[in-house]
Structure 1
Amino acid sequence: MHRLNAWLRRHPLVVDSAWALLVLFVGLLSLIGHATTYQTVSGAAVSFAVAGLMAVRRRYPAITTAAGVAIGLAQVAFNIIPGMSAIGFLVLAYTAAAFGPPWASRLALGMGLISGPVSIWKFYYIPEEPHSGPGFAQMAFLSVLLSTPFLLCWAWGRLTRVRRAYLVELEDRAARLERERDAQAKVAVAAERARIARELHDVVAHNVSVMIVQADGAAYVMENSPQQAKEALGTIAATGRQALVEMRRLLGVLRTADTADEYVPQPGVEELPDLLEQVRTAGLPVEFSTSGEARELPRGVELTVYRIVQEALTNVRKHGGPDVRANVAVDFRDRELEVLIEDDGRGATDEKLSTGGTDGLGHGLIGMRERVGMVSGILDAGPRPGGGFRIRAVMPLKTAK
């Protein structure tokens, strides 16, 4: 049954033709017993014409409306008594309101309003014998009675038009929402890829720089202090393995979207001592201090703090020069968290840091600002008055209720 309904909706001409044949049969049947041959022949011609208009009404709604009005006026002009084929005019009124242009709909409404009075006046009122026909009240009642079916069919057609327009609007809205959803998905994918790129930058830049420093140290003390060279090589191996683990986790996000949270590393403030110890092992003296009441932070803030410190210390090793020292301070405040990284080296220009330095490995200060901006914080970076470089990040925190 569902397939049959779907097929009929795709072939409206078949349905309309079937109804047209039924109306034609009823119209011809009603002509049996007419007193004159003229009424029989003219009534049959009207029945065929109306049935033909019904068959093509949805394909040519404006033409069929105008032709239906012309046939109705011809019946009045040539005194052709309406038969059962007049049912077709109700269908044409519905079609004009549901599928026709505005002028066709207004024309069908006007003709429906006057159809009753004109029919009563033309076919039931006898001017020569005014007292033999129906009275005025009866004529008015019959006029309204004859016009009502046309008005109901026209109103049904308008309701169909409104419902169809509403369905079209819903379909357009659904299509628009689907396009917006696809666009948002693409934006989310691009943001995720940018985030993974920042993560890879921080992981690779930090760990590779540690490995380079340790390798240089091992080469320098290889002959005079084999034990120190062995320890440096062990640090290189451990750092390399750590970098591979983090890179595999990040790249796993690209392969398995459903388990992204499982693979993404989320280091935070608690892991800062391990990071600083690794930096100290690489030969960069770092002091670490905290102030305020330490508390649990949002995961985004935790990761931002860790990556900013990691990136800043990586830049210190690359650009600070010999005998450089660094200081990392984390201040827990009531409404915000401040992270301060300072060094006393020769520093680097803001332009070089913003482009990732001369090694082309990452994003430098641009990546830091993006990270801080994602948690609605602010970042200040620049040379210190007494020499060296200073990075200060302030991130808002939600107060406990």
Structure 2
Amino acid sequence: MTEVARPVRALLRTGARLSPTVFDASLAVLLFFAAVGVDSAVYQGPPGPLLLQVALVSPLVWRRRAPRTVFYAVAAAAFVQWLTDTQLLTDVALLVALYTVAARSGRRHTLAAGAVLEVGILLASARWAAPEGRFFSSAVFLTAVAAAVAVTGVNTRIRRAYLASLEDRAVRLERERDQRARLAVADERARIAREMHDIVTHNLSVMVALADGAVFAQHRAPDRATAAMRQISGTGRQALTDMRRSLGVLRADEPDALRHPMPGIAHLEILADQMRTAGLPTRLDLQGDPAFLPAAAQLTVYRLVQEALTNSLKHTSPGTHAEVRVRCSPGAVAIDVIDDGRATRAPGPPSGHGILGMRERAAAYGGTLEAGPLPSGGWQVSAALDLGVAGDDAA
């Protein structure tokens, strides 16, 4: 048996490098010549045993394509062998066929094939082992071997299904990861668009107002015109720095002083000063302690106030006053921006990014935003943020 086991091991080692059909054909050829080599005296007579040998092993070539058909073809050849009272070592082809059925078919087909093989085991034991008094031991041994082969095939099928499910899960997880990455990119682009809109709109509005004031005061008050031009220069540099930071392309040689953090509630006073300088007297009323607020929530508050004040600066008549009220509590932030000016034109088209962007920022924190004219004249923007809805990355 050692001579038989050695080529079997060699075939198994090379099987992974062969196509399934070539492997199965090689297995059939190996079984055929192994049986001939072990008991060659059987084939020195009539050709019947040799033909049975071929009938037992040749169907194995197609065992992967049609496992049940191959099993019953081999079983039929084995039954003819039993009828002709011919003992052949190639009966091991029945075990190979049973393994294939168990590995590639369901439980019902495996049980049916096992039952057919068990009938064959009992018939073979009754004919060839019973005269020697070994019927029981032969039947038990062969049944145990068949059961082990069937269990091995079932385990192979289960393991193959498990690996297929893991592969499918990995593919789905990879697809979901790619989808999340695309959504993250889209969210980041939307965030950058909102930031760029707020930065450009606010700073350009301030610069235009300062430039108009400088032109008006250049002959009557040169000092005020000079201060306005310096303020324009500073506002322009601030806008460039904010844009570089928002786009993530801040140069390595940028002065460290310009790498300030994103603005928050503490910067609202600076914002109010900018609006006063640009010609919109602004009063700031801050209630509560903003220190516990997340940085993203503070940025949202700042951008909402900035956008509302920019609209007041752009769309109201000279002499308008504005008031900003910010009330901070542990679970929420309330914002009111009110001006008393007379609108020179609508504060933006309905499809614009101004109020729409403000509503999107508020919605990121489960909040609401209302904007509209006051009965007594002027304009009001009111927003409420729920800090328990979104985290630091909501803005």
Q: How high is the TM-score relative to the length of structure 1?
A: 0.83
Output the CA distance in 2 between the equivalents of 1:118 and 1:347: 104
Structure 2 partner of 1:111 = 116
Question: C-alpha offsets along residues 267-306 of structure 1, whole Å, 9 cap, x if unaligned?
Answer: 0011111111111100100011122344331011110111
Output the CA distance in 2 between the equivalents of 1:89 and 1:255: 75
| 1:355 aligned partner, one-letter code | S
Task: Determine which of 248, 253, 269 is the counterpart of 1:252.
Answer: 248
Q: Work out whether residues 202 and 311 of structure 1, in 8 Å CA contact, stay in contact via their aligned partners in 2.
A: yes
Q: Work out whether residues 294 and 332 of structure 1, in 8 Å CA contact, stay in contact via their aligned partners in 2.
A: yes
Output the CA distance in 2 between the equivalents of 1:35 and 1:341: 105
Structure 1 partner of 2:285 = 289
| 1:372 aligned partner, one-letter code | A
Task: Determine which of 24, 35, 39 is the counterpart of 1:16.
Answer: 24
| 2:34 aligned partner, one-letter code | V
Question: C-alpha offsets along residues 349-397 of structure 1, whole Å, 9 cap, x if unaligned?
Answer: 88836433xxxxxx11111111112122222222222111111222234
User: Are positions 1:161 and 2:157 aligned together?
Assistant: yes
Distance 1:274 1:32, change over 3 A: same
Output the CA distance in 2 between the equivalents of 1:43 and 1:325: 111
For the residue of structure 2 that corresponds to 1:51, the secondary structure is: helix
Q: Work out whether residues 317 and 344 of structure 2, in 8 Å CA contact, stay in contact via their aligned partners in 1.
A: no
Structure 2 partner of 1:49 = 55
Structure 1 partner of 2:300 = 304
For the residue of structure 1 that corresponds to 2:380, the secondary structure is: strand
For the residue of structure 2 that corresponds to 1:295, the secondary structure is: helix
1:122: Cα distance to partner?
3.9
Structure 2 partner of 1:67 = 73
1:9: Cα distance to partner?
4.6
Output the CA distance in 2 between the equivalents of 1:227 and 1:349: 32
Q: Work out whether residues 30 and 83 of structure 1, in 8 Å CA contact, stay in contact via their aligned partners in 2.
A: no
Structure 1 partner of 2:386 = 396
Output the CA distance in 2 between the equivalents of 1:149 and 1:303: 74
For the residue of structure 1 that corresponds to 2:292, the secondary structure is: coil
Task: Determine which of 67, 82, 86 is the counterpart of 2:91.
Answer: 86
| 1:16 aligned partner, one-letter code | D
Percent identical among aligned pairs is 38
Report how many aligned residue pairs link the two structures: 372
Structure 1 partner of 2:393 = none
Q: How high is the TM-score relative to the length of structure 2?
A: 0.84
Output the CA distance in 2 between the equivalents of 1:385 and 1:392: 15
Structure 2 partner of 1:225 = 221
The two structures, once aligned, show a CA RMSD in angstroms of 3.0
Q: Work out whether residues 203 and 236 of structure 2, in 8 Å CA contact, stay in contact via their aligned partners in 1.
A: yes
Output the CA distance in 2 between the equivalents of 1:299 and 1:102: 60
1:107: Cα distance to partner?
4.1
Q: Work out whether residues 324 and 345 of structure 1, in 8 Å CA contact, stay in contact via their aligned partners in 2.
A: yes
Output the CA distance in 1 between the equivalents of 2:85 and 2:346: 97
1:90: Cα distance to partner?
0.8
1:85: Cα distance to partner?
1.0
For the residue of structure 2 that corresponds to 1:352, the secondary structure is: coil
1:222: Cα distance to partner?
2.6
Output the CA distance in 2 between the equivalents of 1:204 and 1:384: 28
Further displaced range: 207-216 or 290-299: 290-299
Structure 2 partner of 1:29 = 37
5+ residue gaps, structure 2, are 1-11, 253-257, 389-395
